[in-house]
Chains A and B, each alone.
Chain A
């Protein structure tokens, strides 16, 4: 199989300046094409900048926006992932990543998890997406898209892999912080991300592509460090921290098959088990009926405060708390 050349565009968008960022995307796309790339990945909100606040509504685009269509038109024979503020028909705003292929918008992923803690305030300005699907790419494989914080939730890479993804793409605007010298790379954020991406690649036995922006918005600086990780968890490429640039990496998509044959983790996944337990957990959280069919856990007879499935005192001398019931002390 012909190796796939991936171009990571570690750029610095201009905050709120759509025209300048569109022009920058077109230039980088052309440069990547010239460099022989088959997949070009731009960072989260590369078309708008990150720290938008109330500007979000002013730079939002509908999927049928001619500016997006024009950008898509430049992807003949190419795949590209770009990110922007999407305005839905009902005027909700999303942080979206789109897969552009062969001149059209093939797929849009809306950021699922909007961090609203610490230095983040995304939920104030954006709506969370609620679909997590892979997309069949012109590359001949299924691709899973995720935006930044989406990757801080285990279910995202797992679901995408189960849905058939062999290539997971995370586009980010990750602000650098925690400069403590104890960290492997001198930046706490970068150290955490590297751990995550190697772990996900290995556990999903998929390629992981991470494209993080550089530059500054207001007081926060974005650290770059974009990466491509092989299905074995090995980092094939790590871009420098903070440097703007277009970096190309060649990957053998056939590595996915080799890895999965040798290490059949995905074959051995138990989605039905996961689903059953998730249903139970949800039921417990919402106080709905528990799954009566579930087996009781082993526990000492007459455990203090043990209660039966319906919340009454248990009469069964062998009965401990059933699964999902907590013993209160």
Chain B
């Protein structure tokens, strides 16, 4: 659909079949990525005075990879995976999440968010706390509320666990805004937010995330049968390549067209990126005083005395 030049490099785990498609220009040195990310996770936790992290484990590849990376950086005993299914979530998601927990031997916790979500939207004709309008809510509203309920649970669980919430959003979904603000995007720090989905797959394969998780179609699993690619109308390798050339390599529209990308795709992706700028930034504060956070009061987050504990 997006298309573009060059054959894609076909990556396969064992020659037995394609595990995922990796555009060659996106291939990274996974050894260095692991090294840098492990240092990042340790640094972020220790400088904040913590040694533990927790991850909302969906059964998908992003959170599975982050769980593996945290376990590698801090040891599996320092990781809590929280599974937060809704009653319509795919059973396969839970199975895959269990697979990760079993493989890592880390702590896990299951919180069914159905009563929280249904308590607001209502169920079986019963009104919920959200009233009549909530009963008729769109899938978008429901999906957003689920993502934010999961955020609430994770942040609550972070207190008894004594750890920080580790983010699981990737660069592709962040750039096109395929994320719920203060929902799945909420975290203390994010180790994979500068990796495109294709690179997430490459790294996941390198660290040993189970193949079934790498192979399946990515889904937000907010309603049955939902997949990212059908919803967005793009395949991830195509979308990643376009974003890479557009953003990382600063190609103009004309150059992108010359490279073979479809003009409709370029237009659409540019619009998605521009209209989601707000999701990637701290909310703006009106400049009034002599020194304003983020404008002319600029301190590192972590410095002597900044640890909370």
Chain A residues with CB under 8 Å of chain B are: 14-17, 51-55, 176, 179-183, 186-187, 215-219, 221, 241-242
Which A residues are CB-close (under 8 A) to B25? 180
**CB–CB B301/A17 < 8 A:** no
Query: Are A15 and B300 CB-contacts (below 8 A) given A180-B27, A180-B28, A182-B27?
Result: yes
Which chain B residues border A14 with CB–CB below 8 Å?
A: 304
Cβ of B308 < 8 Å from any Cβ of A? no
Q: Given A179-B28, A180-B25, A180-B27, decide whether A53 and B36 contact each other with a Cβ distance below 8 A.
A: no
B31: chain A residues at CB < 8 Å are 186
The interface residues of chain B lying within 8 Å CB-to-CB of A17 are 303-304
Chain A residues with CB under 8 Å of B301's CB are 218
15 contacts across the A-B interface (CB closer than 8 A): A14-B304, A15-B300, A16-B303, A54-B297, A55-B299, A176-B32, A179-B28, A179-B36, A180-B25, A181-B28, A186-B28, A216-B39, A217-B300, A218-B300, A242-B39
Please report the C-alpha to C-alpha distance between residue A13 and residue B301 in the assembled complex, in whole angstroms.
Answer: 16
List of B residues within 8 angstroms of A241 by Cβ: 32, 35
A176: which B residues are within 8 A, CB to CB?
A: 32, 36
Q: How far is the CA of A50 from the CA of B163 in the complex (A)?
A: 27
Q: Report the Cα distance A55→B33, complex, angstroms.
A: 29
A201 → chain B closest CB, angstroms: 25
Contacts of B26-72 to chain A: CB distance below 8 A = 27-29, 31-33, 35-36, 39-40, 43
Contact flag A219-B40 (CB < 8 Å), given A182-B27, A187-B29: yes
Complex CA gap A212/B272 in Å reads: 39
The answer, among B39, B298, B299, for a CB contact under 8 Å with A221, is: B39
Give the A-B pair count, Cβ closer than 8 A: 60
Q: A179, B300: Cβ atoms under 8 Å? A: no
A53 touches B35 (CB 8 A): no
Tell me the complex Cα distance, A136–B40, Å. 41
Besides the known contacts A179-B32, A183-B29, A187-B32, 12 further A-B residue pairs in the complex with CB atoms under 8 A apart: A16-B300, A53-B300, A54-B299, A55-B299, A176-B36, A179-B36, A180-B27, A186-B32, A217-B300, A218-B301, A221-B39, A242-B36
Which 7 pairs show the lowest CB-CB distances between chains A and B? Answer: A186-B29, A181-B27, A16-B303, A53-B298, A179-B28, A216-B43, A186-B32
A55 contact set on B, CB distance < 8 A: 299-300, 303
Chain A residues whose C-beta falls within 8 Å of the C-beta of B299 in the assembled complex: 53-55
Q: Is the CB of A181 within 8 A of B300?
A: no
Nearest chain B residue, comparing its CB with the CB of A52: B300
Closest A residue, CB atoms, query B47: A15
Q: Which of B28, B35, B298 contacts A54 (CB 8 A)?
A: B298
**A51 to B300, Cβ gap below 8 A?**
yes
Residues on the B chain within 8 Å of A181, using CB: 27-29
Q: Is B302 among interface residues, defined by CB-CB distance under 8 A?
A: yes
Please indicate the chain A residues that have their CB under 8 angstroms from the CB of B303 in the complex. 15-17, 55
CB contacts (< 8 Å) of A180 on chain B: these are 25, 27-29
Q: Which residue of B lies closest to A190 (CB)?
A: B32
Among A17, A54, A183, the most chain B Cβ lie within 10 Å of the Cβ of: A54
Over the window 9-32 of chain B, the binary record of Cβ atoms lying under 8 Å from chain A Cβ atoms (1 yes, 0 no) is 000000000000000010111011
In the assembled complex, which residues on chain B have CB atoms less than 8 Å from the CB atom of A187? 29, 32
Instruction: Please report the C-alpha to C-alpha distance between residue A217 and residue B301 in the assembled complex, in whole angstroms.
Output: 10
Closest to B202 in A: A181
- Measured CB to CB, the nearest residue on chain B to A219 is B40
Which residue of chain B is the closest to A16 with respect to CB atoms? B303
Bound-complex Cα distance A181 to B9 (A): 13
For the complex formed, measure the closest distance between the CB of B75 and the CB atoms of chain A, giving whole angstroms. Answer: 19
Nearest neighbor of A214 in chain B, beta-carbon distance: B39
- B residues 291-307 in Cβ contact with A at 8 Å: 297-304
Residues of B267-309 whose CB lies within 8 A of A: 297-304
Task: Across the interface, name the chain B residue whose C-beta is closest to A180.
Answer: B28
CA distance A67 to B58 in the complex (A): 52
Closest residue on chain A to residue B25 by CB atoms:
A180
B29 touches A215 (CB 8 A): no
Q: With A and B bound together, what is the CA distance between A185 and B109 in angstroms?
A: 41
Residue pair B302, A15 in contact (C-beta under 8 Å): yes
Determine how close the nearest CB of chain B comes to the CB of A241; give it in whole angstroms: 7
Q: Which residues of B contact A51 (CB under 8 A)?
A: 300
Complex CA gap A54/B295 in Å reads 11
CA distance A54 to B43 in the complex (A): 21
**In the bound complex, CA of A219 to CA of B299 (Å):** 13
Contacts of B27 in A (CB 8 A): 180-182
**Complex Cα distance A180/B199, Å?**
10
Nearest chain-B residue to A186 (Cβ)? B29
Interchain nearest-CB distance for B42 vs A (Å): 9
Closest to A218 in B: B300
- Contact across chains for B300 and A215 when beta carbons are under 8 A apart: no
Q: Give CA–CA (A54, B299) in the complex, Å.
A: 6
The distance from the CB of B207 to the nearest CB of chain A, in whole angstroms, is 15
Residue pair A221, B304 in contact (C-beta under 8 Å): no
A94 to B301: give the CA distance in the assembly, Å. Answer: 23
Q: How far is the CA of A312 from the CA of B32 in the complex (A)?
A: 60
